[in-house]
A and B are shown apart, each in its own frame.
Chain A
Amino acid sequence: MKNQSMRINKILVCCGPGCLSNDSLDIYEALKNKIESDKPYISIETTVKATGCHGFCEIGPLIKFLPLDFFYCNVKVSDVEEIYQKTIKNGEIIERLLYHDQNSNQKIKSPEEAGFYKGQKKIALRNVGEIDPLSIDDYMKRGGYKALKKALLKSTTEQIISEVEESGLRGRGGAGFPTGFKWRQCAQMQNFPKYIICNGDEGDPGAFMDRSILEGDPHSIIEGMVIGAYAVDSHSGFMYIRDEYFLAIKNMTKALEQARNYGYLGQDILGSGYDFDIQIVRGGGAFVCGESTALMASIEGRVGEPRAKYIRSVEKGLWDKPTVLNNVETWANIPVIINEGASRFKSIGTAQSPGTKVFSLVGKVKNTGLIEVPMGMTLRQIIYDIGGGIALNKKFKAVQTGGPSGGCIPEQLLDLKVDFDSLDKAGSMMGSGGMIVMDETTCMVDVAKYYLAFLSEESCGKCVPCREGIRRILVILEDICNGRAQDEDLDLLIEICETVQATALCGLGKTAPNPVITTIKYFKDEYIAHIRDKRCPAGVCKELTIYSIDKDKCKSCGLCAKNCPSSAIKQEQSKIFTIDQTKCTKCGACVDICNFHAVKIGGALACR
């Protein structure tokens, strides 16, 4: 497939977290070295860039070629030589590296043709994966800092706030509070100094959206923050970023420096006479620090305990001064709203939830990745059209949204529209954007237990309902999973959940029962199976599961015995393999490895 007229001038190597862990940085370095070392001898005008997440993590590492807009997937360092010789020098496409879409059974060249990218709409992620995050020029080439100029040089603060209000933008950190309204309230305070904060704590244990923006397009957040600061008349901002996100901190530090050098940050921004600067604060790894008041306590150098919210942060926030705190994704939306106007923004999404939302779509879907979709898209469209359906062609069971504060949504609600209010109504919430797909091999009681174990660890312990209540809920869930629970325990569980919901001090406690309440609501039969039949239908809860080998299906290949880390599988004289229950740790290795589905997962009263 040779194409002489084909000239590639830009190669974008995905260096998002997923691809990085598959050596994409080595691929980038190797490509770059190849091109650099040949440059003096042949004329190559191609530049290689290490970018943020391209989104389609499932088939990473990814490389995109511009301007022809085709991409390679599952690239290895050993492919670099061939890519260089054939694709870069000769414009040949290497079939083998193209993405094979299983659902349509087609080789796909351009991202636009892939089901995964088709339904997406990128606003917050507009530059992520398209630019080198360490280059402010790349950002500016794509319209970066235009909004800042428009805001600072051509608009009044009132115009900016009205525009944001008019856009209907709601906070992307979880609660969906109207951003423009928050800004207006803060702008009205006559108490100085005022502060601006970006919440980059991303506490949801199963998500990486904010990280991808922080790493992949730091300037969009900076630009949003300067505009917000100018609108409410603040001169000092903070970015609270999780310490584990060292690449995000590194890229952001560099971006802040560049923005200062270009006069977009610091003193006398764009010659307007307005000063504003941003400092990075590294988070200490506590989920509750994502809560606004706890986060402020943490910036002040205290332990991150929240306070009751009868006084609002816009009035008394950081150091008791008026403060606007917004999520990473919220900030990244601001420049687009200012540039393109509120009505354009409002035309995307739904009336009550305009715009888009970024999700990390993970779990048992075929296409794991980072996606951005218009609000109002249904869960089914997200999971089946973009996500490609359930992996290994198993049966869908539930989708979890909203992280530890959210809930599990069952199959009958798959046509639910994804927006703030619809998800709330289903008992879950938008949250910051984790979307975890679960199949028939996921145990819903175990999922509830997982979140509650997380929350009991993360509860700061300040208020009793949260500290003690979550622990009691967890103990009951553990009993259920271990086969020790009685029927009455379910009622007790619901009662404690309702109490914690009603009485906890901060959002962590108030929403902590959600995973339990929604799983009981939609998957009560699974709880009953655990409690009455002492059986875990998904085969996850070890105490309630027994593995055995089906004599009729077993072909005596011995693969299971070889792969059993506990040496629990032995061949009897009769050549039949059996599992020694005293040695079996129920890790499931044999189930996964058997080609003949001969390992049976049984629940049994006998386990008790």
Chain B
Amino acid sequence: MENQQDFQYTRQISQQYPQDKRFLLAILQDIQKEYNYLPRESLYMVQEYMDIPLAKLYSMATFYKALSLKPKGRYIIKVCDGTACHIRASQTLTDEISKILKIAPGQTTSDGRFSLETVNCLGSCAAAPVIVVNDRFYGKVTPSMVKTIIDEYGGIYS
């Protein structure tokens, strides 16, 4: 998983930016995009490159929602909990997914296949409530559709 080559990439990402504090967020966002989380080793490299304390990186990583210190699953299920989706009962979808995958929002299944997240408005309020799995979009979802959607991605292994 995390081999030497991987971290070479972290170095490349960092070096695209000048060693100026204001590019820190952008660097972390790029690393997040590449690995789906911020690997510890990458943070060490950024720390060295930017010459700032690790604690500072940690405060950024925990403050900004776009950044995550834990690896995410292969399939990221995003349930829109924007206001429009919320009042069209998005909560029941989150509950149903939680029940099936046995994880709470923000968690990843132990086999590393699914992550569950709730997100803000995706701009598709007309189709509320909305779920996005990786880049695939599902509108007007009902609790009874949830299992079928999860099954499209291999379902849960029993």
Contact = CB atoms under 8 A, between A and B. Distances in A.
Interface of A: 16-18, 21-22, 57-58, 60, 204-208, 211-212, 243-244, 281-286, 298-304, 360, 362-364, 368-369, 400, 403, 434, 436, 438, 442, 447, 450, 460, 540, 563-566, 585-589, 592-593
Contacts of B122: 17, 21
A363 B84 contact: yes
Given A208-B121, A565-B96, A284 B143 contact: no
A400 B83 contact: yes
A247 to B, nearest CB: 10
Given A284-B64, A286-B63, A60 B126 contact: yes
Interface of B: 20-26, 29, 59-60, 63-67, 81-89, 92, 95-96, 99, 119-128, 130, 137, 139, 142-144, 146-147
A301 B20 contact: yes
A362 B84 contact: yes
A585 B144 contact: no
B124 A18 contact: yes
- 3 cross-chain pairs, A with B, having the tightest CB-CB distances, nearest first: A206-B83, A17-B123, A284-B64
Contacts, number: 151
A21 B130 contact: yes
A299 B67 CA distance: 16
A564 B119 CA distance: 26
A463 to B, nearest CB: 15
A455 to B, nearest CB: 13
26 contacts: A18-B127, A21-B122, A21-B123, A21-B124, A21-B127, A22-B139, A57-B125, A204-B121, A205-B83, A207-B82, A208-B125, A282-B26, A285-B66, A286-B63, A301-B24, A301-B25, A363-B84, A368-B84, A368-B126, A400-B83, A436-B87, A540-B89, A563-B142, A585-B143, A587-B95, A589-B144
Contacts of B21: 300-302
A496 to B, nearest CB: 23
Given A563-B144, A592-B142, A363 B130 contact: no
A278 to B, nearest CB: 15
A323 B23 CA distance: 20
B29 A282 contact: yes
Given A540-B89, A565-B147, 12 more contacts: A206-B86, A206-B120, A211-B123, A283-B66, A300-B22, A303-B60, A362-B126, A363-B87, A450-B86, A565-B143, A587-B96, A587-B143
Nearest to B99: A585
A149 B128 CA distance: 43
A586 B96 CA distance: 10
Contact of B143 (A22, A438, A588): A588
A434 B63 contact: no
B95 A585 contact: yes
B126 A18 contact: yes
Contact of A205 (B23, B121, B127): B121
B144 A565 contact: yes
Contacts of B143: 565, 585, 587-589
Contacts of B26: 281-282
A450 B99 CA distance: 21
B71 to A, nearest CB: 18
Given A436-B84, A588-B92, A588-B143, A362 B128 contact: yes
Given A21-B122, A286-B65, A362-B128, A438 B96 contact: no
Contacts of B86: 206, 450
Contacts of B25: 281-282, 284, 298, 301
Contacts of A299: 22
Contacts of B60: 284, 303
Contacts of A434: 83
B63 A450 contact: no
A160 to B, nearest CB: 29
Please indicate which of the listed interface residues A16, A299, A301, A303 has the most CB atoms of chain B within 10 Å of its own CB. Answer: A301
Contact of A18 (B82, B125, B147): B125
Most buried by B among A57, A205, A436, A592: A205
Contacts of B82: 205-207
